[in-house]
Amino acid sequence: MTEKDLHIVFSVQARATIQQSEIYDASKIDLVVLQDYLSIGPISDLDTVNGKQRRINWLVEISQGFSGDIITHMVQSDIDKLHAVKSHIDGYPGIYLWTGSDVREMLSASRLLYFLQIPDYSRFFTIDFLNTSVTRRLGAGIYPKSLNEANLDQVAKLYTDFRLIEQQEVSQMQSLWEKLSNDDACLRIAIGETPISGIEIDFYDSNIITHCTKRYQTAIRIVGKTLGDMNEKSICEGISDAFLNWRLLQLIKEGKLKYRGILSSIRNYEVKLA
C-alpha cells in the first residue's frame, strides 16, 4: 500500500485552492479533480458510448462559447478518472472527498461511490461543510458551502473537520445516483432540506420571466437576478449562468420574450416581455 492519500475535489478552482494552500506536500498525495456539471443534462449510461455521446450533444446544444472538443474532454476526462481511481483504490490509506453542499458536487461524489462498488469504505473521509465554521466575523461564523468559497487560509481548518463517512451515507448516495441516473430529467436540484430530485427542464422559466419587464434589460442582468433568487431560497442547485442563458433563448424562441442585439453571447443582447 502506498503512503499517499487520495484527495478528490470537484472543480478546477477547488484544485487550485488546495494546491495554493500549501497544507500538503504535493509529492505525498494524489489530487484528482472531477468537474462535469452533473446537475444538468442526461446522466444515464455514461459509461457507454451512446450515453456519453447523448450527454455531450446536449451540453454542446445549450453552451455558448464552449467548443464541442472542450465539452467532450470534460465528460470523457471524468469517466477516465473514475476508472483510474477504481483501479488504484486499494493502494490509498485514506480517500478524502472535498464534497460541498451544492447539487453538482453531491452528485459527483454519489456517482463516484456508486461506480466504485467496493465492499469497504472505512478509508473514506468527508466534510460537513454546512456545519463547519472556519471564520468568525462580528460574532458570526462563516460557513462556506464548498471549497470554491473557502479562502486559502481556511483550508487547514476545513481539513481538521474531515470525518469517516458512514456506511449508511454511502448507501444513500449510491441509491441517489442509481435513482437519478435512471430518470429522464435533465435538471436536478434540491430546495432547502429536500433530497435532490429530477425536475422539468423549464423549472426556472417562470422565475426568469418575473424579472423581465416591458423595457429592455441585459440578459446577464436577468440571469444574475435569477441566480440571486436561488441563493435566497436556499436552492442547492449547482446551476450555471450558461444554463439560464439557454433558457432565456428558449423563451425567445417560444415568443414569450423579445430581444435586441446578438444572441451569440449573454453579454451582447437584451430582452423584454413580448
> For residues 257 and 208, is the Cβ–Cβ distance under 8 A?
no
Match 472542450 to its residue by C-alpha cell: 70
pTM: 0.89
C-alpha cell at 240: 450555471
> For residues 124 and 170, is the Cβ–Cβ distance under 8 A?
yes
Residues 50-99 have pLDDT tens digits of 999 999 999 998 887 667 889 999 999 999 999 999 999 999 999 999 99
C-alpha cell at 236: 442547492
Pairing of strands 95-97, 124-126: parallel
Collapse the DSSP code of 252 into the 3-class scheme (helix H, G, I; strand E, B; otherwise coil) and give the result. helix
Alpha carbons 112 and 97: distance in angstroms, whole number: 10
| Whole-number pLDDT of residue 155 | 83
| Whole-number pLDDT of residue 191 | 74
| Whole-number pLDDT of residue 233 | 56
Nearest to 5 by CA among 134, 117, 94: 94
How is the chain split into domains, by residue range? 5-181, 202-273
| Whole-number pLDDT of residue 90 | 92
| Whole-number pLDDT of residue 80 | 96
Strand segments, DSSP code E, in 124-268 are: 124-126, 135-137, 140-142, 163-164, 187-189, 197-199, 217-218, 257-261
Alpha carbons 241 and 248: distance in angstroms, whole number: 10
For residue 134, pLDDT over 70 is answered with: no
Query: Residue 93 CB: number of other CB atoms within 10 A?
Result: 11
For residue 232, pLDDT over 80 is answered with: no
Lowest pLDDT segment from 1-5, 81-85, 114-118, 200-204:
1-5
As a whole number, the mean pLDDT across the chain is: 88
Nearest to 252 by CA among 221, 273, 237: 273
Match 488546495 to its residue by C-alpha cell: 18
Over residues 38-45, the mean pLDDT reads 94
CATH topology of domain 5-181: Rossmann fold (3.40.50)
Lowest pLDDT segment from 65-69, 192-196, 216-220:
65-69
For residue 15, pLDDT over 80 is answered with: yes
Class of the CATH domain delimited by 202-273: mainly alpha
Pairing of strands 163-164, 124-126: antiparallel
C-alpha cell at 57: 450533444
